Amino acid sequence: MTTKMFTVPDKWKWFTESRYGMFIHWGPYAQYARGEQVLFREHLDHGEYAKQACDWNPEHYDPELWAQTAKNAGFKYACFTTRHHDGYCMWDSAYTDYSSAQQAPKRDFVREYVDAFRKAGLRVGLYYSWIDWRLPAYFDGPEKDPEGWAKVKTYLHNQVKELLTNYGQIDHFFFDGVWPRDADDLDSVKLVEEMRKLQPGIMINNRLGYSVEHDGVLADGGIGAGDSDTLGDFGTPEHLISVDQNRLWESCQVTTWRLWSHVTGERWRPADYLLDMLCESAEKGGEHGGNLLLNVGPTADGQLPPEFVQRAMEIGRWLEVHGEAIYGSDGGSVTEFITRGRQTTRGNNLYLIIRFWDGRPVMRLADLTTRVKCVTLLTTGTQLDFEQNGEELLIKGLPREAPTRLFPVIRVECESKPAANQWGKERLWEGDPARVAAWAREQRGTSVFADGKER
């Protein structure tokens, strides 16, 4: 697997150190409990929706509790929906009265979130949707309605700058929902420059406009997400874990089956499935690995659903023991390991993250060229015997019972950065097919018969 080399600026190192963020989709749509896009998807009446939004008053919103839970669950940062496609603002915006501050709650939800998460030592991210389904001029655009469009654009720019002026240090900014506008309409390049002046350290995602027509490639992301291959500091594959070749990336994923905001009766993905997404993100993406932004949709009254908390805490307990394989890891895929699980690396260490435990005492790893110094079952802290014969590593004395319900991890400490021979590097369907021919020719012969001999 090859990825382009690039250097991560120091100010963004926290992102690769973190690996794991919490995405929070919360707004008045939670009252319907059928997803954050219910207004559009069910073609609801705008007036009725707005009335219900203005009356929404979530009494149990306690961001300090959310932040504590996020911290205990091993998340290192969060990203909170300040305004989704329905246009309702979760902060005290000077540019509209359609907000939590001016309607029923009379609270600045963004401020409370930012303060609480920062106090808990987490990095802070804000999600902001370009699209606002209430505004006809957004959809008419600059050509059909130049005056209306100019107003909308000013409104969007002002709100983003407001969010980056009034709430202290913002580390991460997640634009969304560009369709049908593009970067030229939105002047997103200029806005990004202004954002960097206000927040020099900020990381801004790639949903800034251009996609197929401009960049030539449709980056991974929701249809209409407006992902750009050339704009933005990090890629945002959505419902997907795929490498962005040119920059850092963060896969955003739901914990349920499909929707981002709270849904009554929705099915939940199991903890091992969620953890595997984190491991896969860390594993993929060359030396920098990738991040996972794992979503939760709090209930309409402001609580993290118990199904989420239970799964998140299970992963958090796993991270307490195995965190060194994830946080700040350097990406994996050193050698072939798909028959067992996933790998990550960190300096001279190779971490084998094992999906299933087959109870056999010996595990064989083929094609590792680096000399091994020490092997530890990280899950229990037990040092394991091993034997290295050339490029074959045999790890011995593994317990019969799985040492954890989630994934056991074996740490292989090497004398230098873990590396593999050509066979280990070039996976199935990759590389020079001559090596497959040589393997068969040398070990068995050339014919279709069982003994490989020509008749």
Using rule CB under 6 A, residue 36 touches ligand GLC: yes
- Cβ atoms within 10 Å of 218's Cβ, excluding its own: 13
CB of 411 to ligand GLC, least distance (A): 34
Site for ligand GLC in 37-96 (CB under 6 A): 37
CB of 452 to ligand GLC, least distance (A): 53
CB of 255 to ligand GLC, least distance (A): 13
Using rule CB under 6 A, residue 276 touches ligand GLC: no
Using rule CB under 6 A, residue 225 touches ligand GLC: yes
Nearer to ligand GLC (CB atom), residue 37 or residue 68: 37
Using rule CB under 6 A, residue 132 touches ligand GLC: no
Contacts of 350 (CB under 8 A, 6+ apart): 332, 334, 343, 344, 368, 370, 411, 412, 414, 418
CB of 284 to ligand GLC, least distance (A): 19
CB of 222 to ligand GLC, least distance (A): 3
| In the complex, residue closest to ligand GLC by CB | 222
Strands (E), 260-301: 291-296
CB of 260 to ligand GLC, least distance (A): 5
Nearer to ligand GLC (CB atom), residue 217 or residue 438: 217
* Helix or strand (DSSP H, E) at 77: strand 77-83
Nearer to ligand GLC (CB atom), residue 22 or residue 225: 225
d(CA 308, CA 234): 26
Q: What is the DSSP letter of 428?
A: T
The single residue among 132, 238, 336, 426 that binds ligand GLC, judged by CB under 6 A, is 238
Helix (H, G, I), strand (E, B) or coil at 107: coil
- Cβ atoms within 10 Å of 379's Cβ, excluding its own: 20
Contact 403, 379 (CB under 8 A): yes
Using rule CB under 6 A, residue 177 touches ligand GLC: yes
Using rule CB under 6 A, residue 28 touches ligand GLC: no
Closest CA to 294 of 241, 352, 226, 220: 241
* Helix or strand (DSSP H, E) at 349: strand 349-354
Contacts of 27 (CB under 8 A, 6+ apart): 36, 53, 81, 83, 84, 86, 88, 90, 261
Closest CA to 22 of 250, 301, 205, 228: 250
CB of 221 to ligand GLC, least distance (A): 7
Using rule CB under 6 A, residue 244 touches ligand GLC: no
The single residue among 112, 176, 220, 227 that binds ligand GLC, judged by CB under 6 A, is 176
**What is the contact surface with ligand GLC in residues (CB under 6 A)?**
25, 36-37, 176-177, 222, 225, 238, 252, 260
